[in-house]
Amino acid sequence: MKKLIYLTAITAVLFSCSQSKKTEKVMNPFFETYTTPYGVPPFDKIKNADYLPAFTEGMKQQNAEIEQIVSNTAAPDFANTIEAFERSGELLTRVSVVFFNVKEANTNDSIDVIAEEIAPKLSQHHDAIMLNEALFGKIKAVYDRKDSLHLNAEQARLLEETYKSFVRSGANLSPEKKEELKKVNEELAMLELKFDKNLLAETNGFKLVIDKQEDLAGLPEGVVASAAEEAKAAGMEGKWVFTLQKPSWIPFVTYSEKRDLREKLYKAMYNRGDNNNENDNKALINQFVNLRLKKANIMGYDSWSAYVLDDAMAKNPENVYNLLQKVWNPAIKRAKEELADMQKMVDAEGGNFKIESWDWWYYAEKVRKAKYDLDEEQLRPYFELKNVRDGAFAVAGKLYGLTFTQLENMPLYHPECQVFEVKDADGSLIGVIYLDFFPRESKKAGAWMTNYREQYTSPDGKNVRPVVSLTCNFSKPVGDKPALLTYDEVETFFHEFGHGLHGLLSQCTYESLAGTNVSRDFVELPSQIMEHWAAEPEVLKMYAKHYQTGEVIPQELIDKMEKAGKFNQGFVTTEFIAAAFLDMDYHTIKTPGDIDVNAFEKNSMDKIGLISEIIPRYRSTYFAHAFPGGYSSGYYSYTWAEVLDADAFDAFRETGDIFNQDVAKSFRKNILERGNTDEPMKLYLNFRGKEPGIEPLLKNRGLL
C-alpha cells in the first residue's frame, strides 16, 4: 500500500512555553536546516511539543508565500505563479510528513491529542489556499495561455495538474458552495482520525488467552513460542496469548485443531468496529458516505465514485465494475470448487458440520498439504527476514544496478528501525530507505510505503534525493530464532519494496509530480510487479536459505511451491474482489440517508453471490482503505494495476531473462523515474508498446 500524507487531515497539541518566539524557533528542530546525515529528520531531537508551533509557523509562512504570489504586480507566468505555488509551504510539508508518518507507525496519547487539535486547522488552511479567488485567477491566466508558453513536457504537466487540482478542490464554485465545501472537508478530516483511532483500539483491545496446553493442539512450535512471549509481555507468564495482529491470528486459524477457539479469534477479528461500544465505526461510516456524497454533489458529480474516478485511469464507475465482474466470475467459480474439496475432507473425517468462514484457513491448509505435500511451516525456515530483505536488495541490484548499505547511528523514530543508503551503479546517491518490520500497539495494522522527503530538483538545480520508509507488521523473532516469515509476508515485503523503488528512483523536477504521486490505479504497478520476482526459482535461490544451515531452498520445495502456487486462488481473489465491490457500492450511492451498515454489506455481498463461507477481505467497520485510508472508490486499483503488472512482467519473460537489462532499463526510464510527468497509459505504452489485456492476470491466478 502506498500511504499518502494529506495536509487536509491531521495534527496538534496544546503547547505552552514562556520562552520568546525567537528562542522557541531556535529550539525547534523543524525551524532549522537538518544537519543530520543525508538530511533525514532529526527524530532524536524532535519532541511532541515541537509539532504545534512548527505547524503554526508553517501555515503562516505558506500564507505569506501565497500572498506574495497574489500581490505580485507582474503579469502571471509559469515562474512567478505555477513554480512559486509549487515551492510554497516547505516548512509545513516538512513537519507534516514527520508527524503523520510517526502517528501511523508509533503513536501515543499525546500524538493523538495533537492530531485532533490540528486536523481542522489544516483543513481550513488547505481550503483557504485552494479556494483563494485571486490565486486561482492568476493560475487560470497562465493556464489559458498554456499553448503559447513554450513549456517543456514536465512544466506543461505541472501546469495542467495544478490547474486541475484547484478546479477539483472547488475553485470554480460559488461563494456559498465554497463555504459548504469547507465544512464538509473539515468534518471528513476529523472522521478519518476517529475511524483510525477506533480501529487501533479494537485491534489492541482483544486477546485470546490460553492457559491449557491441550488448547494448543495443532499449532507449530514457533507459533506457540511466539504466543508465550506475547503472554509474558502482557504480564501473563505461563500462558499463551493470541492477538488480532496478522502474524498472530492467521497462524492460529490456519493450524489450531480447536474449532471453537478458531471461531472465537476469527470473529473477534472480523467484528472489529462492530461491537456497539465506544470504538464502533458504523456511525462514522454513515457520516463518511453522506459527507462524501455531499462533497461530490457540490462538485457537480452524482456520486463520490464518479468524482474520484474522473481523475483516475479507470475514469468512471462503470469501467471499474466491468473489470471486477470479469475477475469475479471465474474467481467465485473456483472458490466453490475449493470449498467442495474442503467439505469432502470434513465429511471424510466425520466432522459432521458445514464449513464456516473461520474454518477456511484451517482446511485449505490441510487440503494443500494433502494435494501438494506442502506445509507453510516447511517454508518458514528458508524465509529469514534478513535474507528476504537482502534478496529484494539483490533483485534491485540485478535489475537497476543499485546497492544498499546499512547505516548505523542514524536518527530513528523507533529503535527497531533500520536505515540504508541506496546508491546507483555509478556510485551516485539514489536516496535513503527506512525499514520498520514488526507489530506493536503503537502502530497501525497493515504494510505501507511513505516518504519523509520526496525527490525533486531545487531552484538552483540540485537533485534532492528522497528519504522513503517501509512500515510492516511481520512475524517477530522468537526466543533465539530470528524473524521467520510466511511466504505471504515475503510477497508483502517485495510489494512494499516496489513502492520504495518507485519513490527512490524518481528523476523529476517538481515534488508534486515525483515518485509515487501518481493516480491510485497506477501506483500499484511498480509494487505488484516486484511480487513476481519473489517467487521466481532463480530469485528464490538467491535469498531463500535455511536460517540455521545456510542451505539454499531445495529444488523439491521450489517445485512444490510452483505446483501449489495457484492453490486457493479462488478464495484469495474472491475475498479481495468482494471488498472492492463493497467499496464501490458505498461510494456509488446517489441519495443521502441513514445506512444500516451490516444490512448494506450483506445486500452488497448477496448481489454478487458471495458464498457465506467467505467474508470480504475487509468488512465495512475495519475497511481502513476505503474510509480513512485514501483508497475510497480505489480498492479496485490493485486489480486494475495487476492487469498492468502481469503484462509488464511478461515483457521480461518474453526475452527468456527475468533480469533482461534492456527491459529493466526501459521500465526504470519510462515508469519508475517519470512519476506523474505524463498520463499513466502513455508512460505504460512508452514501456510496453501496447495496452494490456486481462488474460495474463487470470492466467497468473490460475483462473482461466
Cα(564)–Cα(586) distance, integer angstroms:
35
Cα(387)–Cα(391) distance, integer angstroms:
6
For the record, the C-alpha cell of 175 comes out as 461563494
Alpha-carbon separation of residue 309 from 3, 328, 415, 589, 636 (angstroms): 18, 21, 40, 14, 11
Q: How far is CA 691 from the centre of its chain?
A: 26
Cα(130)–Cα(132) distance, integer angstroms:
6
For the record, the C-alpha cell of 571 comes out as 478464495
Cα(658)–Cα(218) distance, integer angstroms:
39
670 within 8 A of 686, measured Cβ to Cβ: yes
CA 607, 613, 619, 625: dihedral to nearest 10 degrees? -90
DSSP strands (E only) in 329-472: 403-406, 418-423, 429-436, 448-453, 456-457, 463-464, 467-471
676 within 8 A of 161, measured Cβ to Cβ: yes
**Active site includes 180?**
no
> Up-side HSE of residue 611: CA atoms within 13 Å toward CB?
22
Instruction: Give residues with Cβ within 8 angstroms of 227, minimum separation 6.
Output: 210, 216, 219, 240, 241, 242, 248
Residue from 305, 552, 530, 515 nearest 399 by CA: 530
266 within 8 A of 249, measured Cβ to Cβ: yes
* Backbone φ, ψ for residue 74 (5° rounding): -70, 155
404 within 8 A of 432, measured Cβ to Cβ: no
Q: Which residues pair with 240 in a beta bridge?
A: 210
* Backbone φ, ψ for residue 222 (5° rounding): -65, -35
Torsional sign, CA 185, 190, 193, 198: negative
Task: Indicate which residue of 154, 230, 496, 642 is catalytic.
Answer: 496
DSSP strands (E only) in 135-285: 208-210, 240-242
- Total residues found in the chain within this entry: 704
For the record, the C-alpha cell of 409 comes out as 547511528
Q: Which residues pair with 189 in a beta bridge?
A: none
The helices-and-strands tally (H runs, E runs) of the chain is 27, 9
DSSP state of 673: T
For the record, the C-alpha cell of 548 comes out as 540455521
For the record, the C-alpha cell of 354 comes out as 458445514
DSSP state of 451: E
Catalytic residues: 496
